[in-house]
Structure 1
C-alpha cells in the first residue's frame, strides 16, 4: 500500500481562509478534491499568509477562518487519512523558497500576469498595491514546488499562475544544472466558475451573492428565490433565455440528470415554463446536496480540538516535506552551508 501511494502523482491545492467555502468552491474544486484523494497523493494548504496580501488590516478574520475552512473540507468528504491538510504560516520553508524565487522573476513579468492584473483592477488597489499581492504568483510557486506537486487543480482564470510557476521552475532547474523541481500541470475542472446568485461574474463571500456549504434550508430557499433569471421572462407563457440564466447554470453544475435539464431548457425557451417551477427543481437538488454536508459539519464542529489536532498532524507532515525541498534547493543553488 505504501509503495502504491509513493508512486501516485502529487497534487497541491488549497484555499485562502477568508470565509467559509460556498457552492462555487464545491463545484469548481472541492468535489474534485474528494475524488482525487483516492488516486493521488494530495496536499491541501490553508493559505493564511496569502490571505494577508489583501487582508493585512484584519488578521483575526484570517485566523478565525482557518478552522472554518477546515470544517468545510472535512464536511465535504476530505479524509485526513488520505489528504494532508496543512496551515501555510506554520511552514517557514515556503517563505524561504518564495524569497529565493523572487530573484528569478522580474517586476515587469509579475505586472504582466493576466490573473494578477485582473485581480488588481477588481480590488482597485491603484498605487496602494501591496507588494505581497503583486508577488502572489511567486508565493504560489513556492507552495507548489515545496511539495513537488505534479498537478495543481485551478480554474481557467488561474492558468497564468501555473505558467509562471513553470517559468520559475525552469530557471531554478537551469541554475542548479538538473531537473530538481517538477514542472506542474494545471488541472482545470469541467465546471467553470459559478456566477453569483445575482448574476455577477463571480460568486463572492464578501458581496453576499454566494450560498455557503453550511447554509440552512431556509438560506438555500431564499437564495434560490433571489436568483437572477431572464428579466424578459415576465410570464410562464413567454419564451425565455437560458444563456446567462443563473438557475440553469446551477442546474448544469449540480444536477445528475443532464437529459432532464436539457428538456427543461427546451420548454423554457419555447415558453410555458415558469421561473418558480425551475427554481423549485433547483432548490430540491441543492437541499439534497447540502444537507449531508451541513450535518457532517455540525458533528465536526462539536469537537474543535479534534479539528485542530488534524491540522497540527498534517502541518507537521507538510513541514518535513517542505523543509527537505528547501534544503535541496539551497544546496543546488550553492548557498553557504554552516555544517
Structure 2
C-alpha cells in the first residue's frame, strides 16, 4: 500500500514555455528514473478559474502532453493521464468534503492571493474554494509518498496531510483494532516483531522520525503480511488507527531561475515567454530585440551585466568561460550586445532541437499520443479503484 510513488499535475494552459521546463519538467524527468511516477493533466482544475471558457481546454490538454513527452517524460517509466478520465477523483473529492472543515479551505494562502490576482474573474464559486480539496484528492488517491512542489505550494501539501490525518482518525476505527494489530505483529516473526515494537516505542515516546521511517521499511519488506494487517501495523506504529489514506511529503524543487525576455519571471501573462517548441527564427528575433543595460546607449559604452536581462539567461544557459567572456567584454565595451546575445540564442535553439525531435512523431500521428494517455488512464484508474474500495468500506458505503 505505502509506496515511494511521486504524484504531480499541471493545469492545461496550452503549449509550455522554457520556464515550465526548467521549473518542473526537468525535475520530473529526473524523478521518473528514481520513483514510480504519475503525472496528470488537471483539466478539472482549469475549470475552477476558466469555467466560462471551456472551449480552449481540450486543445491545451494535448499541446501540454506533447510538451511533456518532448521534455523527456517516458511513458514506459511514468503513468500519464487526464484527471477527468479517472472519475474516482470526483468521488473522493466529494467524500472528503463531508469531513473537511470550511475554515481549512479558507485559510489556504493562495485562495485570497488568487482572488486578488484574478480580480477580473468571478471566483466566488464553490469550485474555487474547494480546489485545495480536489488537489488533496488527486494526491491521496494514489497514496503518494512525495509531491514535487515549490515553496509556495507547501501549504497545499500540509492541508492534504491534515485531511488524510482527519480522515484516518474518523474512519480508521475498527472493532478490536489493537488486538488485531498485536496478532499481526506475531506474523512478522520473533526477531522482526521485537524490532517493530522497539521502533514503535522510539517513535511514540521520543518522536524519533528515523524510527518511523525504519518501521515503514520493515513493514514494506514483510512478505507474509496481508494488505489489511499491513495497514493496521502502519497505523499502530504511528500511534493512530488503521491508515487508509497515506500522508504525503512535499518534495521541494529548486526555484526556476528562468527569466523572461524582459528580465521578469517567464510567464505567458507577461508576454515575455519563449515556448518550448518555438521556431528558431522566432527565438532569434525575440532575444535579438531583448532590452539590455540602459547605460549602453552606444556600442562603445561600457555596461554592467548585472543590470542586463540577457545576463540572467547566460546564468541558465552559458558555461563559466562564456560568462567570463561576457563579464569582461560588456564592462570594457569589448563586445556589443548582439555579440553577447548570440551564445544564448545558440544554446536555446540547441536545447529546443531535442524537444522538436521528440515531439514530431506525435504531431505526425496524434493516435500515438491518444494511446499513451488512454493506457495511462487505465493504469491510474486501477490504482484509484483500489483506494476507493478501501475508502467506501471505511465510510460504511461498501454494502451490496
Per the normalisation by structure 1, the TM-score is 0.88
Higher Cα radius of gyration: 2
Q: Secondary structure at the match of 2:48?
A: coil
* Separation of aligned partners in 2, 1:242 and 1:287: 24
* Separation of aligned partners in 2, 1:233 and 1:149: 52
Deviations 1:167-212 (A, max 9, x none): 21221122223232222222232242634323334x3334432111
* Separation of aligned partners in 2, 1:261 and 1:108: 53
The one of 5, 16, 25 equivalent to 2:20 is 25
Per the alignment, do residues 218 and 126 of structure 1 end up closer, same or farther by CA in structure 2, a change over 3 Å counting?
closer
Equivalent residues of 1:155, 1:192 under 8 A apart: no
Q: State how many pairs are aligned.
A: 329
- Residue 338 (1) aligns with residue 399 (2): yes
- Residue 289 (1) aligns with residue 284 (2): no
The one of 280, 290, 313 equivalent to 1:250 is 313
The one of 8, 11, 15 equivalent to 1:13 is 8
Q: Secondary structure at the match of 2:60?
A: helix
* Separation of aligned partners in 1, 2:273 and 2:34: 30
* Separation of aligned partners in 1, 2:100 and 2:326: 48
Moved over 6 A (4+): none
Aligned residue number for residue 298 of structure 1: 360
44-53 or 101-110, larger mean C-alpha shift? 101-110
Aligned residue number for residue 253 of structure 2: 189
Give the superposition deviation at 1:304. Answer: 0.4
* Separation of aligned partners in 2, 1:241 and 1:16: 35
* Separation of aligned partners in 2, 1:127 and 1:107: 20
The one of 166, 171, 182 equivalent to 2:166 is 171
* Separation of aligned partners in 1, 2:377 and 2:132: 22
The one of 316, 322, 338 equivalent to 2:384 is 322
Q: Secondary structure at the match of 1:210?
A: coil
Equivalent residues of 2:17, 2:276 under 8 A apart: yes
Deviations 1:26-48 (A, max 9, x none): 00111111121111101110111
Per the alignment, do residues 234 and 9 of structure 1 end up closer, same or farther by CA in structure 2, a change over 3 Å counting?
farther
* Separation of aligned partners in 2, 1:228 and 1:112: 40
190-199 or 165-174, larger mean C-alpha shift? 190-199
- Residue 222 (1) aligns with residue 217 (2): no
The one of 138, 146, 153 equivalent to 1:143 is 138
10-19 or 204-213, larger mean C-alpha shift? 204-213
Q: Secondary structure at the match of 2:277?
A: coil
* Separation of aligned partners in 2, 1:8 and 1:225: 48
Equivalent residues of 2:2, 2:143 under 8 A apart: no
Aligned residue number for residue 73 of structure 1: 68
- Residue 39 (1) aligns with residue 34 (2): yes
Per the alignment, do residues 150 and 250 of structure 1 end up closer, same or farther by CA in structure 2, a change over 3 Å counting?
farther
Give the superposition deviation at 1:268. Answer: 6.8
* Separation of aligned partners in 2, 1:160 and 1:261: 40
- Residue 205 (1) aligns with residue 200 (2): no
- Structure 2 unaligned residues grouped into runs of 5+: 173-240
CA root-mean-square deviation: 2.4
Aligned residue number for residue 180 of structure 1: 244
Give the superposition deviation at 1:265. Answer: 6.3
* Separation of aligned partners in 1, 2:128 and 2:291: 32
* Separation of aligned partners in 1, 2:28 and 2:122: 37
Equivalent residues of 2:6, 2:35 under 8 A apart: yes
* Separation of aligned partners in 1, 2:71 and 2:380: 22
Equivalent residues of 1:27, 1:254 under 8 A apart: no
Aligned residue number for residue 239 of structure 1: 303
- Structure 1 unaligned residues grouped into runs of 5+: 1-5
